Amino acid sequence: MSDLGPPVDWQGCAVDCAGCACRALLAEERCRIGHACVHDRYAKRIDRFFSWNPERARDFLGHPYFEVRAVAAKHVDVFHLPQLIRDPDETVRWSAALRLPSRHLLTLVNDPHREVRIRVAARLDPEELDAMIHDPDYYVRQVVARRIPENLLSLMMHDADFTVRSTVASRIGDAWLPAMARDGEAAVRREVARRMKAWQLLLLMDDPDWRVRYEVASRAERSHLNRLANDEDELVRGVARHRLGRGSGASCPVVPKQACQPF
């Protein structure tokens, strides 16, 4: 017996091939009770049935068990997927969203379930992602920030979530970096410091966070390093003095592992 247990249907009743509309498939070995069965409770067995019989998927898009509809959505031809957009179960809509033609994805940008919207944001044409830049879920917006065209990133540079703003800072055009250097979150400013031109780093020379100043000391023009050579933080001072060549045999300081961890 399979480790999934005895074959029962979604209502807990024993699976009975005698009354099954697909029973003719038994003789062709295209289904097998407890292994590949559309009426089984377990998605693994349902999926195996549709893998063997993909042409039958369209016949089960209205099945009362959500797992059957969700698995059928993986195998049905794309022309039948749009009817699942309004399915009452988010698992079914999520499954459909993975394969829906892009022209239908816009109808799911306001889906009530975040997992559906995450899949939509990952597949929607980048030029249409502006419809999701104000999504209520931070992770949806993060996916949008990773894929939206660069010329639209300025619309997200003041996002409420700092991880979204950090993603924006990693991709936004150079002209916008000075504005993001004033962000209230050090993680965002550090991302800005990593991308700024050396001469622009003067804007972050007095940043309150030592990790940002360390980035500045590592990359700023040498003519601007004297102030950081006397920084209150030992690591910042060390890298600034190393780059200035102060002292004999100066070596670049090693940053402790914890200093390199994400904010």
Domain limits of the chain? 1-76, 196-247
- Looking at per-residue pLDDT, the higher value among 224 and 192 belongs to 192
Measured distance CA(78)–CA(64) in Å, rounded = 21
Cα gap 106→104, rounded to integer Å:
6
Instruction: Label residue 21 by pLDDT band (50, 70, 90).
Output: confident
For residue 14, the cross-strand partners are 8
| Residue 39 confidence (pLDDT) above 50 | yes
Q: Which amino acid is at 159?
A: D
pLDDT classification of 4: cutoffs 50, 70, 90: low
Per-residue pLDDT reduced to its tens digit, 243-263: 999 743 344 554 544 445 545
Long-range contacts formed by 173-181: CB under 8 A, 24+ apart: 178/203
pLDDT, position 263: 52
Q: What is the largest CA-CA distance in the chain?
A: 90
pLDDT for 102 equals 87
| Rounded CA separation 212/204 (Å) | 7
Q: What is the pLDDT of residues 61-103, one digit of tens each?
A: 999 999 999 999 999 999 999 999 999 999 999 999 999 998 8
How many angstroms from the chain centroid is the CA of residue 31?
36
What letter represents residue 241's amino acid?
A: R
For tokens 């060549």, name the residue. Answer: 245
- Give the helix ranges, DSSP H, for 57-149: 66-75, 90-97, 102-105, 114-123, 138-147
Mean pLDDT of 123-130: 96
- Predicted TM-score (pTM) of the model is 0.84
Mean pLDDT of 10-23: 88
pLDDT, tens only, 140-164: 999 999 999 999 999 999 999 999 9
